[in-house]
Amino acid sequence: MNMKSIYNYKYSKSKFSYLQIGMLLILLSTPSISIAQWHIVSHENLSNNEKTRVAFTENKKGYSLEIYKDAVGAVRVRFTLNSKLNLFSENICPTYQVDLTLIKNSSFNDAPCISRSNWSEFILGYITNKNITSLSLDALLNGNVITFRFALDNGNYKETSFSLAGSKRSALGVIGKDININP
């Protein structure tokens, strides 16, 4: 081998290893919210033994998010705190933001959220004749990240995020694949 061939071999070998290191760094630096997985679970109502299918995810911090259709065709999203020790501030609905566009703290038609001590729920819209008009539902199914900002009863403000990757598949599995969603 001549000197030029040896140099080219060493250069391409080091260039390849830099590429491998760069790819590894990119994979390791992805946000932790992308780890969240959406899946379908069943919740059972203890008072009447009725089961509800729910699209569910939990983020790394232990907060959970659920999308489901109730008995009257309302599509709802429920945000639950990560601990029974953390409680929402009374009469203050959390704010949610999908990507950098949609920011809301109310339900369909500007109705207030439904809130308990450790969860808040928003009605996204109602299914009628296999159609639902809901900008919020469309954003949840086609967005990348949803962020919740909220006040606790001790006066602290918190924020947490969920990946929406896979939410469309799971949510449509719950509300119906044949439902037309209009923003």
Summarised one tens digit per residue, pLDDT across range 17-64 is 554 554 444 444 444 444 459 999 998 776 677 889 999 999 999 999
User: In terms of domains, do 78 and 133 share one?
Assistant: yes
Checking if the pLDDT of 117 tops 60, the result is: yes
User: In terms of domains, do 136 and 99 share one?
Assistant: yes
User: In terms of domains, do 76 and 45 share one?
Assistant: yes
Q: Can you give the pTM of this predicted structure?
A: 0.77
User: In terms of domains, do 79 and 138 share one?
Assistant: yes
Q: Which is higher by pLDDT, 74 or 16? A: 74
Instruction: Tell me the pLDDT of the chain averaged across its residues.
Output: 85
User: In terms of domains, do 25 and 43 share one?
Assistant: no
- Report the DSSP pairing between strands 145-151 and 95-98: antiparallel
User: In terms of domains, do 17 and 60 share one?
Assistant: no
> How high is the pLDDT of residue 31?
45
Q: How many domains does the chain have?
A: 2
- Report the DSSP pairing between strands 64-69 and 157-163: unpaired
Summarised one tens digit per residue, pLDDT across range 53-77 is 999 999 999 999 999 999 999 999 9
User: In terms of domains, do 24 and 38 share one?
Assistant: no
User: Average pLDDT for residues 87-93, to the nearest whole number?
Assistant: 90
Checking if the pLDDT of 3 tops 80, the result is: no
Residue 162 near residue 146, CB atoms below 8 Å: yes
In which domain, by residue range, is 38 found?
33-182
Summarised one tens digit per residue, pLDDT across range 93-112 is 999 999 998 899 889 888 99
User: In terms of domains, do 83 and 136 share one?
Assistant: yes
User: In terms of domains, do 6 and 92 share one?
Assistant: no
